[in-house]
Amino acid sequence: MKFIVNYSLLVLLLEIKSCSAAQAPKCAAMEQAVRQSRSLDDRRKYLRQLIENSGFSLFSQGQWSIKDKKSVGTELFIRFPKPNEPNSYFPTEEFILLASKMNLLAILTDKIIHKIITNATMLDPSKAPYYINVPPTLISADFVNRFIAQMKKEKIPTTLIGIELTERESISDRACFDEGMRALKKEGIAVALDDLGKHNATLTFLKSIPVNRVKIDQLLITEAKTNPKKEQELQDAVEYAKAHNIEVIAEGIETKEDLLFAIKQGCTGAQGYFFDRPKLFISVDA
C-alpha cells in the first residue's frame, strides 16, 4: 500500500480519538507526544498528500421510493482504507473533521468530484441522481462553473450527478452561496440537504434554500419514536417539504419497524440497511 507513510500519524490520532474514559490519561499523554513531535503544518501536509493521491475509496448506497421500492437516487461517499488491513476502513467522520480543521475540505471535495466524473461510465442512469457530499461553504458560482465544465468535458448529463449539502459546516458568505445555488438550479443539478435535525441542517435552514430533496437524520427518526418534541420537529419538516414539493428521504432505515414509522410520518423515500448496504464503487487504486 503506497499510502502507509502518509497514514502513520493519522492512524495514531484516530486511535487517540477513540480512547475510552478509562484510557483517557494514557491517551492524553499520547496526544501530547504526537503534538510535540509533529507540527500542525506537518499533520496538514500528511493529510494533503493523502487527499492529493486520492487515498480513499468511494462507496455507494441507494435511496428508494417507499411507495413502489424503486430507485430514486444514490449517495456516493468516501472511506479511507486502513493500510495492510483488507476491507477495513477508518471512521469517515474523523477524517472529515481533520480535513475541516486543516482547511482541506475544498481540495478533498474537488478530488472526489474528479474521481467520480472520470469514472462516470460506472454510473447507472437508472439509479441517478448520484449525490456528492459538498459542504455549503464551498458552494459558489465559481465552484458550479468548474463542476459543470468537468461534466461537459466528459459529456456527462447534468441529471446524472447531484449535490448533497452536508450539515456540519455553516455558510460563511450567504451572497456567494445563493449565487452558487442559483447556478446549480439553472444547470438542472439536483440538490439535497443532508441530515436534517443534525448540526446546522435545521428546518430554518431548509426554508432558506431551494432544494429538491431533504434527508432526515437517523437520530431524529429514532428520537421521534419516543420523544414528542422530536416527533413534532420531524412532522414540521415533513409538512414543510410536502407543501413545497420537496422529496423526504428517511435515513438509517434498518428494520421494518423503522420503515413503518417513516411511512407514518409521511416520508416519501428511504435509505438504509433495510434496503441495501453500502457497496464499494471505486477502490483506492482505481
Q: Tell whether 198 is covered by a domain.
A: yes
Residue 12 lies in a domain: no
Task: Give SS3 for 182.
Answer: helix
- Name the nearest CA neighbour of 90 among 17, 14, 20: 14
**Domain for residue 124, yes or no?**
yes
Terminal-to-terminal C-alpha distance of the chain: 13
Mean pLDDT over 93-104 rounds to 84
Q: What residue numbers bound the domain in which 219 lies?
A: 56-282
Asked if residue 193 has pLDDT above 80, the reply is: yes
Is residue 253 a part of any domain in this protein? yes
* Length of the chain in terms of residues written: 286
Are the CB atoms for 122 and 115 separated by under 8 Å?
A: no
Residue 158 carries which side chain, given as an amino acid letter? T
pLDDT tens for each residue of 126-163: 999 999 999 999 999 999 999 999 999 999 999 999 99
Residue 10 has pLDDT above 70, yes or no: no
Contacts of 116 (CB under 8 A, 6+ apart): 58, 76, 123, 130, 132, 161, 282
Q: Does residue 250 contact residue 221 with C-beta atoms inside 8 Å?
A: yes
Give the integer Cα–Cα distance in Å for 228 and 232.
Answer: 6
Predicted pLDDT at 77: 95
- Look at residue 11 and tell me if it is in a domain: no
| Residue 150: count of CB within 10 angstroms of its CB | 18
pLDDT tens-digit series, residues 207-251: 999 999 999 999 999 999 999 999 999 999 999 999 999 999 999
Number of domains in the chain: 1
With cut-offs at 50, 70 and 90, classify the pLDDT of residue 39: low
- Please give the pLDDT value at position 92: 85
The predicted pLDDT at position 23 comes to 53
Strands 161-165 and 247-251: unpaired
Question: What is the predicted pLDDT for the residue at 34?
Answer: 46
Give the CATH number, domain containing residue 153.
3.20.20.450
